[in-house]
Structure formats: C-alpha cells, structure tokens
Amino acid sequence: MKRSKIAGMGFYVPERVVKNEELTRLMDTSDEWIRERTGIEERRYGRKHEETTSTMAAIATRIACERAGIEPEEIDFIVFATLSPDYYFPGCGVLVQRELGITHREAGALDIRNQCSGFVYGLSIADQFVRTGMYKNVLVVGSEMHSMGLDFSTRGRNVTVIFGDGAGAAIVQPSEDPERGILTTRLHSDGTYAEKLSFINPGCHGGYHRNRLDEPVDYGYPPADTYGEIFITPKMLQDGLYYPYMDGQFVFKLAVQKFPEVILEALQDAGLQPSDINLLVPHQANLRISQFVQKRLGLRDDQVWNNIQRYGNTTAASIPIALCEAWEAGKVREGDLVCLAAFGSGFTWASALIRW
Ligand code: UT7
C-alpha cells in the first residue's frame, strides 16, 4: 500500500492583531499574567460578519492547493476540523466546498469535532483514504473563529485570553517514494472528563450531565414533560452559560502527561527515538506545556516550533498554521522527520510522524 504525504500547505490569520494590552481594557487581566502563564503576547481576531471559519479555511486551502499543484476543483474529499463552525448545521465541510467552487458531485465532505486534536485526527482519516486508493487529493483543514464566541467579561478571562482566530490547510496525496510521507498516526480519547474543557450550550443535554461539572448548574430548563424543548433558555442567556468552560489546571496536568506519551508511542511504532525528530510541532495550547514536553523528550529549542506567542491557541487550526509557518521558514526540509502532537477537549489526544 502506498504511503500518503502532505503535498502542500497553506495558512491564513486575520489581519487584526489583538495585543494583551487591548484585553486589559475589557476584563480584569494583565499583559504580565497572560505572558507568564501562557506565553501569549498577541492573537488575531477575524472581521466580524465578514470573515467566518469557512471563509478563512478557503483562503488557507487555496494556498495549499497552489503549493500542491492542483486546482481546488481536483479535491476529492474534505475533512474539516473546527469547534467554532459557521452554523450548528450543516457543517463547515460543505461551506468551504461551496466557497472554493467545488461543484463536481464526486467530492465528499466530513466534519470532525475533535477540537485541539482535530487536525491530527483529520490527517489520519486522509491517510487511510489515500493509502487505500479511495481518494487522490484530500483536503484536511482546521479553522477557528473563536472571537465570536468568547466571554469578554472578567468571568471568562481564564479562557478568553488564550484563544485566537485562524486557519490552516493541507492537501494529502499518494507518495511516490515508499520511504516518505505519513509514517504513523496514533489517536486516543477518554470521555471521563468531557466537561472539564467544554462548550455545552446549545445542546440537547437538558442538564442531564450536570453532576459531572464541579458545581451543578441550573440551566433554567422547563419541566421535563414540556414538548418543544429549547436549546437555549432565558436563564442561560442571563447567566452567560453559552460560553466555553475550562478547568485550566486539570487540563494542564493531563496535557503534560499525554503529549509525551502519545509522541513516544508514535516513535516506538516507527522504531525511532526522540533524538530522530527534526521538528516537533505541538498543538499550541500553552507555551509552558510545549516547554515541558520539549524538556521531557530532551529536545533542543530548534527542534520545536512554537508560535503561540503571536497567534494564541487556535485549536484545530494551531497545528496546520504552525507546521505551514515552519515550512515557510525553511525549518521543514526533504527527508526531515516531523512529529505532530495534540491534546484537548474530550479528552482526545493524537500524534503523527511524517518523513517529509
Ligand atoms: O488547547 C486545549 C488544551 N488547553 C490547555 O491545555 C490549557 C491548559 N491550562 C492552562 O493553560 C492554564 O491552566 C491556564 C493558562 C488556563 C490558567 O493558568 P493557571 O496558572 O492554571 O491559572 P489558574 O486557572 O490556576 O488561576 C490562577 C489565578 C486565579 O486567581 P486566584 O483564584 O488565585 O485569586 C484566577 O482567577 O489567576 C486568575 N486568573 C487570571 N488572572 C488574570 C485566571 N485567568 C486570569 C487572567 N488574568 N486572564
């Protein structure tokens, strides 16, 4: 079976730069706190009502297609990863397809909801499709428009200061060289702590899982025998219960454990060592997490790509943005061993090893 490879990449971040200082005017936070705890100095926010998750994805995809030497029309299959879709449904896969003018009926689109590990999961899906010969040009795209759904009051500061907008895309094709391409992908999940990093409203849960949250929450649902149940109740709006939630310390502790674990697993699978890695591109969750992982694996600074300082955490877009940026900077050369790794909400975590 042929291997698959990343034939071209592209990324897009909105023009508007939002420095930490700007956030201090909206909530009780400081540049010092954000830098010290996360490493973030600035992030990008999209143009509201003009840019969306799917329009940003389309820009990144066009660049990826050009670099892969194909027209968007030649894309056979789309894998779209996001937690901030344009619509509740349909998913962004078909929206980016429309945006790109892919009108032939052979194309298919799949939306995946794996948050921070969405891109690596998507890459693994593309890898399976290409290796089996089912598709020749698979688009894997991660895109997020976080700025439309964050709580900009002090109540939401532990989450809001971290996230930024952007998109990254890769075209996955068959590799002609049996030694090069995606060597392995490892995917994991555990729903035990699903609510520890979550965005649960709107949803049909009706409060069912509420005992799983640290503090039971009253969502203001009408009595259970009422028909025409609504996803968003007036109480949710009043109490701001439609924002993301994160138990930061809990997530941090698991992240620093799972990142090295899943990287070592992939290396073992391929019969390689941490020292063989030319470039590690971790999901940009927190600079402190990346530094911890780097130290644990014994990697030098030049073996790890970090850009959270400039873009914040862009969830499903963070790995393709970072990988593409590293490639543009000449940090990914032919024959290099590149490792991608992610951990996030679900919890889900994943890694990929690529011989470039
Ligand atoms: O990408 C998906 C995966 N996500 C992650 O991996 C994120 C993992 N977690 C983290 O990165 C960190 O836990 C955070 C950056 C989210 C938070 O850092 P922390 O060092 O764990 O802070 P904390 O949540 O323990 O909060 C410490 C203090 C609290 O005040 P008190 O209770 O000590 O008085 C918070 O209220 O910092 C306060 N705080 C803030 N202060 C200023 C929380 N957010 C802010 C803020 N500005 N933005």
Q: What is the DSSP secondary-structure string of 287-326?
A: HHHHHHHHHHHT--GGGB---HHHH-B-GGGHHHHHHHHH
What are phi and psi for residue 89, nearest 5 degrees? -155, 155
CA distances from 236 to 149, 182, 197, 202, 212 (A): 14, 44, 18, 9, 18
Q: Is 219 in the pocket of ligand 1 (CB under 6 A)?
A: no
CB 46 within 8 A of CB 145: yes
> Helix or strand or coil: residue 181?
strand
**Centre of ligand 1 from the C-alpha of residue 248, in Å:** 6
- Give residue-wise pLDDT tens across range 159-195: 999 999 999 999 999 999 999 999 999 999 999 999 9
- Give residue-wise pLDDT tens across range 211-236: 566 677 888 888 878 776 667 888 88
What are phi and psi for residue 188, nearest 5 degrees? -140, 160
Is pLDDT above 90 for 74?
A: yes
- Domains plus CATH for the chain? 4-174 (3.40.47.10), 200-242 (no CATH)
Q: How confident is the model at residue 229, as a pLDDT?
A: 66
Closest CA to 277 of 340, 352, 337, 353: 337
Mean pLDDT is lowest, of 17-21, 66-70, 224-228, for 224-228
Q: How confident is the model at residue 326, as a pLDDT?
A: 98
- Give residue-wise pLDDT tens across range 114-154: 999 999 999 999 999 999 999 999 999 999 999 999 999 99
324 counts as catalytic: no
Q: What is the edge-to-edge ordering of all strands in the sheet holding 77-81?
A: 4-12, 166-174, 138-144, 77-81, 108-112
Q: How does the average pLDDT of the chain come out, rounded? A: 95
**Centre of ligand 1 from the C-alpha of residue 33, in Å:** 9
104 counts as catalytic: no
Q: Is 23 in the pocket of ligand 1 (CB under 6 A)?
A: no
**Centre of ligand 1 from the C-alpha of residue 239, in Å:** 21
Shortest-distance Cα residue to atom 40 of ligand 1: 158
Q: Is 289 in the pocket of ligand 1 (CB under 6 A)?
A: yes
Shortest-distance Cα residue to atom 26 of ligand 1: 158
Is pLDDT above 90 for 206?
A: no
Q: Is 158 in the pocket of ligand 1 (CB under 6 A)?
A: yes
Q: Is 161 in the pocket of ligand 1 (CB under 6 A)?
A: yes
Q: How confident is the model at residue 213, as a pLDDT?
A: 65
**Residues forming a β-bridge with 16:** 45
pTM of model > 0.75? yes
Closest CA to 165 of 248, 82, 255: 82
